[in-house]
Amino acid sequence: MRELRIHGRGGQGSVTAAELIAVAAFEGGVFAQAFPAFGVERRGAPVQAFVRFDNKKIRKRSQVYEPDYIIVQDSTLIKDVNVFHGVKKGGIVIVNTEKKPDYQVPEGVKLIIIDATSIALKVLGLPITNTTLMGAFAAASGEIEFAALEKALRHRFPGDLAVKNIAAAKTAFDTVKGAA
Amino acid sequence: MMEITEGSHAVAEAVRLCRPQVVSAYPITPQTHIVEALADFVANGMLDAEYITVENELSALSACVGASAAGSRAYSATTSQGLMLMAEVVFNASGMRLPIVMSIANRAMGAPLSIWNDMQDSISLRDAGWLHFYAEDNQEATDLHFLAYKVAEDPAVQLPAFVCFDGFILSHTYEPVDMLTQADVDKYLPKFNPSEKLDASDPMSFGMYATPEYYLEFRYEMDQALKRAKGVIAKAGKEFGSLFGRDYSALIETYRLEDAETAIVAMGSVCGTVKDAIDEMRAEGMKVGLLRIRVFRPFPAEEIVKGLSHVKRIAVLDKNVSLGSRGGATAIEVRDAMYGSTIPVKGYILGLGGRDIRKKDIKEIVTLCERGIGDQFYGLRRELI
């Protein structure tokens, strides 16, 4: 079983990202489970959402403490929340930032930084980074195919909004693939 | 067909397929997504039902009582404080023998306010004369609605049913669910056709005055009906299994229990985590198994005694507490069922108000039980007391 933990702030779409990643994984024939860290939703407050992937039915219901993957939607969280807590050796951390990192991920963990906010502003016209980071996650983890992600986005968003979100995700996907 | 969806939406879809004629509910976290989806179905013409919007839960269940007494299949959903506001009508619905089905997205009781999961809400209405079903995952949360209507409306039962699933932990989780089609459900669930109903051309009364000469017998009949429900569940659950491949004929489920020395007894979504913990403990040579209670009312006392007769000790997990007693409702009832046996039954109250339950907690409880320590709250933060 592989586990993903998404850190964001209320309003950034972390829960939606978790759901859509699970939908895309299921599309690829994987058993997936997505759920939020049942907080009281407030805009700007730190939130978490989780995804599990497995080749068999997932029974575990506790929260994710030792993730294989971490997505940080807002790098300002790093000084407030121990976002890297428990990440497995060999794991991947994706951080949305335009800055050079002044923090360290645990040893043996791969850090991918991507300026998802700039991509989202350019493509969507909004600083909402969840779909952009889903593209980065697809490229970095290989857990979901981009085509499945595209299908999930098309299913969730109407017409032009789907097209824009797919474009944002694709830009991030290509950026991460290009850097690899 | 397998699809991946949110638990609440899977439940709403199951309810739609049951063709309720009247839906009345008041939104409350974490039940809200269910009734939002049903309101959409009615508005979009996907569900031919009367959706009665009301000012609170007391009215919601009252509307269902009227609808059910008039011969309509009625549905509601709630949780926590909402269920407690309904409480008066909860007893009326069963006393009037109305087979309403109500989803409970289990949540803790205030005060202090908690929107998070435990089972104190539905368990507190244990004695209301409703059937109590508890789901482990979203597949069951979905399927148990079909079973609930089938059993509740059976002439041998004629009692309402709670279908309980853990708030947030199941209601807000996306996972794959095998959803039945309308043709499937129509084949399984016949139209609601009660032997008695309100009819202006043939007037009768429901829930009338019962003097001391009559009341005791009303309660006896309800008790008998709830006990008869065991046989009805066995038949309806088996039929579900033969049609759709998932057999719900048993009131309990066992997991690696055959040669277990320590048995865990639990209900609801925690059982998934328990099964994973059992696999790990088994790999370390510990003989641990699970007995999961899927139907709490009628209570499967005989099944529990039979399932646990060979074990050395029993650890009962409760996401509820009967304050001022020896523990949670499940532990008390399992101990009662096991009366006369020398097998020790230890209760553990945990996960209240949404406190996360991990595999390591299950392992620690098994260790405590082996040492004879139990009948206590588990995981207390001593620095707060």
B21 and B94 share one domain: yes
B173 and B81 share one domain: yes
Digit-coded pLDDT (tens) for B218-244? 999 999 999 999 999 999 999 999 999
Digit-coded pLDDT (tens) for B48-70? 999 999 999 999 999 999 999 99
Final residue before a domain boundary, out of B195, B224, B244: B244
B150 and B175 share one domain: yes
Could you tell me the pLDDT band of residue A40, with boundaries at 50, 70 and 90? low
Residue A180 has pLDDT above 90, yes or no: no
B184 and B226 share one domain: yes
Digit-coded pLDDT (tens) for B105-151? 999 999 999 999 999 999 999 999 999 999 999 999 999 999 999 99
Q: Per-residue DSSP letters for B36-75?
A: HHHHHHHHTTSS-SEEEE-SSHHHHHHHHHHHHHTT--EE
B138 and B179 share one domain: yes
B34 and B102 share one domain: yes
Q: Give the number of domains in chain B.
A: 2
B15 and B98 share one domain: yes
Final residue before a domain boundary, out of B244, B267, B301: B244
Separation of alpha carbons B54 and B73, rounded Å? 18
Check which CATH number belongs to the domain holding B196 and give it. Answer: 3.40.50.970
Separation of alpha carbons B320 and B328, rounded Å? 5
Contact B357 A62 (CB under 8 A): yes
B199 and B297 share one domain: no
Nearest Cα of chain B lies from the Cα of A123 at a distance, in angstroms, of 28
Contact B4 A26 (CB under 8 A): yes
Considering only CB atoms, which residues of chain A are within 8 Å of chain B? 18-19, 22-23, 26, 31-36, 38, 40, 58-63, 65
pLDDT for res B269: 98
Could you tell me the pLDDT band of residue A42, with boundaries at 50, 70 and 90? confident
Final residue before a domain boundary, out of B201, B216, B244: B244
Instruction: Report chain A residues whose CB lies below 8 A from the CB of B6.
Output: 19
B153-182: average pLDDT: 98
B159 and B199 share one domain: yes
Q: Which two tokens stand for residue B24?
A: 């009345």
Instruction: Report chain B residues whose CB lies below 8 A from the CB of A58.
Output: 175, 272
B258 and B230 share one domain: no
Could you tell me the pLDDT band of residue A179, with boundaries at 50, 70 and 90? confident
B290 and B182 share one domain: no
Give the CATH class of A2-179. Answer: alpha beta
Contact B168 A38 (CB under 8 A): yes
| E runs forming strands in A46-174 | 46-54, 69-72, 92-96, 110-114
Residue pair B161/B151 in contact by the 8 Å Cβ criterion: yes
Digit-coded pLDDT (tens) for B290-340? 999 999 999 999 999 999 999 999 999 999 999 999 999 999 999 999 999
B161 and B280 share one domain: no
pLDDT for res A44: 84
Chain A contact for B355 (CB, 8 A cutoff): no
Domain with B68 in it: 2-244
pLDDT for res B46: 98
Neighbours of B87 (CB within 10 A): 15
List of residues 6+ apart from B220 with CB closer than 8 A: none
Separation of alpha carbons B134 and B176, rounded Å? 19
> Which residue on chain B is closest to A61 by alpha carbon?
B273
Chain A contact for B174 (CB, 8 A cutoff): yes
A118-126: average pLDDT: 96
Could you tell me the pLDDT band of residue A75, with boundaries at 50, 70 and 90? very high
Residue B32 has pLDDT above 80, yes or no: yes
Across chain A, what does the average pLDDT equal? Answer: 95
Check which CATH number belongs to the domain holding B261 and give it. Answer: 3.40.50.920
ipTM: 0.96
- Probe site for chain A from B175, B317, B361 (most A CB atoms < 10 A): B175
Distance set, CA B258 to CA B253, B279, B287 (Å): 12, 14, 10
pLDDT for res A41: 67
Contact A59 B276 (CB under 8 A): yes
Contact B269 A62 (CB under 8 A): no
**To 5 degrees, how large is the angle CA B192–CA B197–CA B202?**
135
* Of A38, A58, A62, Cβ closest to residue B175: A58
pLDDT for res A111: 97
Across chain B, what does the average pLDDT equal? Answer: 98
- Probe site for chain A from B4, B137, B179 (most A CB atoms < 10 A): B4
Residue B384 has pLDDT above 70, yes or no: yes
Contact B273 A22 (CB under 8 A): no
